[in-house]
Amino acid sequence: MKVRKFMSFIIFFAYLPCVAIAKLGESAEQLKTRYGKPTTENVKGNDAQLIFEKDGYKIMCEVLNDKTDFMNVLRIDGKVLENTEVFKFVDENIDATAKWEPENCGQFLLYKSSDGSRLAAFFQPRTILKIFTRERDQAKGLIDKWKAKYQTPKPPNNFPSVEVLKANSAKGDLSADYNLAMAYYSGWGCKRDPCEALKIWEKIANTKSQYSSNSQYMVAGLYLSGDGTVKDEVKAFEWMKKAAENNHPGGQANIGAAYSTGSFGFKKDAAEGLKWTQKAVDQGERMAEYNLGVMYLEGCGVQKDTDRGLKLIQSSADKGYENAKNFLERRKSQSTTNPQ
């Protein structure tokens, strides 16, 4: 198993390319015709849970009354997925006749069909697509639960109003500039406007101030996701490297992962990957701890050290990093079912 299977990036959106996905409403037999024999099949009357693995994807389907009601789709290798393919994917593979309307819900992007009957949620930074019916959402309150867990947080207490921030920005206050960009990006006290946020952060990013590294990192994220601008991975990682060189832990973690996996235009270089990942770990960056832990488990760029690797991954999980939590849960499950 190569380390790149587990390497993570801090990204703003994760999307699925246009693999042929079954439409909601298809029967279990139609799913089997489309995907072949399921790797897992649990059937009870007209209800079923089926898992397929095809063309590098894992497709988990829940069938109720012989109709597909819910689907989870993810790439088996966990690679980052392309933003530009989202609308084509939704149009061609879910319901070509529906008009889909996106709603930014913080850490996930919700697509709703114009008639409100079908929903698709792309989780970020997770590479997971969830497709489900409005009836299921109403029955289980999925959207409300997700928003409670993943919604962009409300502004901090005593966060200045947009009017106050604008007035202070006019006086040359860079802290007001930075917070104004955050207000535009998050929709705090104003209509969400990531394009305006990008303009302000780019201006700050080119200064020599205490706000430059955070601004460089935010600019990188916007170019990487295509939020408020045209998606440009090359430009994104130019800014990401500036942030890393400016001692931003998130920038260092991402650059380390890019070098380690040879992604985003970076030539694969284990030594450079280790250098930047370690810099981020030294600052307590949880994603970097997870990535470095996997490096030690796999012996990628470092001498293999299982104990050290697991300690790093546990530290990352303790700080709330989902990939680390999931990794430890899978490892625990595997050791329980197959102690050898």
Print pLDDT tens along the chain (340 aa).
333 333 444 433 333 333 445 567 889 999 898 889 999 999 988 899 999 998 777 888 899 888 888 888 777 776 655 544 445 455 555 555 556 666 767 667 777 777 767 777 766 544 677 777 777 777 778 778 877 776 666 788 889 999 999 999 999 999 999 999 999 988 888 888 889 999 999 999 999 999 999 999 999 999 887 778 888 889 999 999 999 999 999 999 999 999 998 888 889 999 999 999 999 999 999 999 999 999 999 998 899 999 999 999 999 999 988 889 989 988 887 765 555 4
Q: In which residue ranges of the chain is CATH 1.25.40.10 found?
A: 162-337
Q: How far apart are CA 68 and CA 80, in angstroms?
A: 27
Q: Is there a contact between 186 and 179 (Cβ–Cβ < 8 Å)?
A: no
Whether this model's pTM surpasses 0.85: no
Q: How far apart are CA 204 and CA 177, in angstroms?
A: 8
Q: Identity (one letter) of the amino acid at 13?
A: F
- Residue count of the chain: 340
CATH 2.60.40.10 fits 162-337, yes or no: no
Cis check for the bond before 125: say yes or no (omega within 30 of 0). Answer: yes
Q: Is there a contact between 281 and 288 (Cβ–Cβ < 8 Å)?
A: yes
Q: Is there a contact between 180 and 218 (Cβ–Cβ < 8 Å)?
A: no
Residue partners of 321: CB distance under 8 A and separation at least 6:
286, 287, 289, 290
Pairing relation of β-strands 57-64 and 47-54? antiparallel
